[in-house]
A = this chain, B = another copy of it.
Amino acid sequence: MYKKLFIPGPVNVADDVLERLSTPMIGHRTKEASDLQRSIAKKMQKLMYTENTIMLSTSSGSGLMEGAVRSCTRKRAAVFSVGAFGDRWYKMAEANGVPADKFSSEWGKPTTPEMVDEVLSTGKYDLITITHNETSTGIMNPVEGIAEVVKKYPDVVFCLDTVSSMGGTKIEVDKLGVDICITSTQKCLGLPPGLAICSISEKALNAAKEVPNRGYYFDLLNLYNYIQKKDHQYPSTPSLPHMFALDYQLDKILEEGIENRFNRHKEMAEYVRAWANKHFKMFAEEKYASNTLTTVKNTKGISVSDLNKELGKRGFMISNGYGDLKEKTFRIAHMADTTLEEIKELLAIIEEILAL
């Protein structure tokens, strides 16, 4: 009945991790709850290469994206978009009355350091948002180059959406100078959806202090102050099942070795890219192709939805293209605990169905 998922979230979750969701409840105002949440924070700091404070949010990643742009924009936000999730970040700014401008790349192309430099050099902006990995197009932005540019503008709060890349590729938050780095559980971390995570810097917190009407649930400064005061506890009752499972899964990730995990993602990505180039074409500019999912250009004019139906009968599932890219592309995620062997199995079955 259940399919093996090769969609960009939710991902397959290992049985032993799923079981941890079923841990009996504890009080959320107990020492056990503090211990659990502190333990998660410490492990996330390792995975994110940061000493910044880690905050959890019972929400999807979108919640923290909204919180970041609303809590920390003093003057004006520069939102860089390379697809649907960049567009969403701009929509969030608009929906909150946060002054913002959107700088879009053609779908399939990255945000370049040059673009960022040009925009920030105007002096109009004090916050930027970058999508690290865009699941609609399969682009992974050149974050190192962008980070170098951002460092030239010390007043700018640097927000990075790593929802679909954190845990699947190395993102050195402190080295890059990322002020708010956001991810969520249902992608490369290999957990079910329902919990989001961010790191936050002193600079971002100081920026928030100057912003009125930051709201409540996603007010990042309020969240920070609360967990400082209450030893990692949260203002309202958090999703304990996700926390039990995340704490456990982070042990498994650290046991695999984070470099090994990143290499596994890279190997899977290279394999899928070679396959895509052999039978179809890549949608993303190859130099910026994502290590966690591949968007394949449907150069053969196959029916993606029929392909997925056939895959479904065999217990597999991939994603059709996103929005306007439906049927024009299809997407294969290679993230979380998926192995190269599973990817090979999937692609062999696709070849068989399509008689490639």
Contacts and interface: CB of A to CB of B under 8 A. Distances in A.
Contacts of A217: 59-60, 62-63, 66, 217-218
A350 to B, nearest CB: 17
B193 A238 contact: yes
Given A12-B24, A26-B2, A239-B239, A58 B193 contact: yes
B186 A237 contact: yes
A11 B70 CA distance: 34
A142 interface: no
Query: How many copies of this chain does one complex carry?
Result: 2
Interface residues of A, number: 58
Interface in A223-253: 235-242
B213 A27 contact: no
A210 to B, nearest CB: 15
Contacts of A19: 22
A310 B63 CA distance: 40
Contact of A194 (B58, B63, B222): B58
Contact of A62 (B192, B236, B241): B236
A159 interface: no
A96 interface: yes
A284 interface: no
Interface in A1-29: 2-3, 5, 7, 9-13, 15, 18-19, 21-28
A9 B3 CA distance: 34
B10 A18 contact: no
B184 A237 contact: yes
Contact of A235 (B62, B186, B241, B242): B62
A52 to B, nearest CB: 23
A239 B237 CA distance: 15
Interface string A196-222: 000000000000000011111111001
A229 B274 CA distance: 38
Interface in A164-202: 184, 186, 192-195
Nearest to A67: B217
A91 interface: yes
B25 A5 contact: yes
A194 B238 contact: yes
A28 B193 contact: yes
Nearest to A97: B213
A317 interface: yes
A8 to B, nearest CB: 10
Interface of A: 2-3, 5, 7, 9-13, 15, 18-19, 21-28, 58-63, 66, 70, 91-92, 95-97, 184, 186, 192-195, 212-219, 222, 235-242, 317, 319
29 contacts: A2-B24, A3-B26, A5-B26, A7-B27, A10-B240, A21-B241, A27-B317, A59-B217, A61-B236, A62-B217, A63-B217, A66-B216, A70-B215, A92-B215, A95-B213, A95-B214, A95-B219, A96-B213, A96-B216, A184-B237, A186-B237, A192-B239, A192-B240, A193-B237, A194-B238, A217-B218, A239-B239, A239-B242, A241-B241
Given A10-B27, A13-B25, A241-B242, 6 more contacts: A10-B28, A15-B22, A21-B241, A60-B238, A194-B241, A215-B215
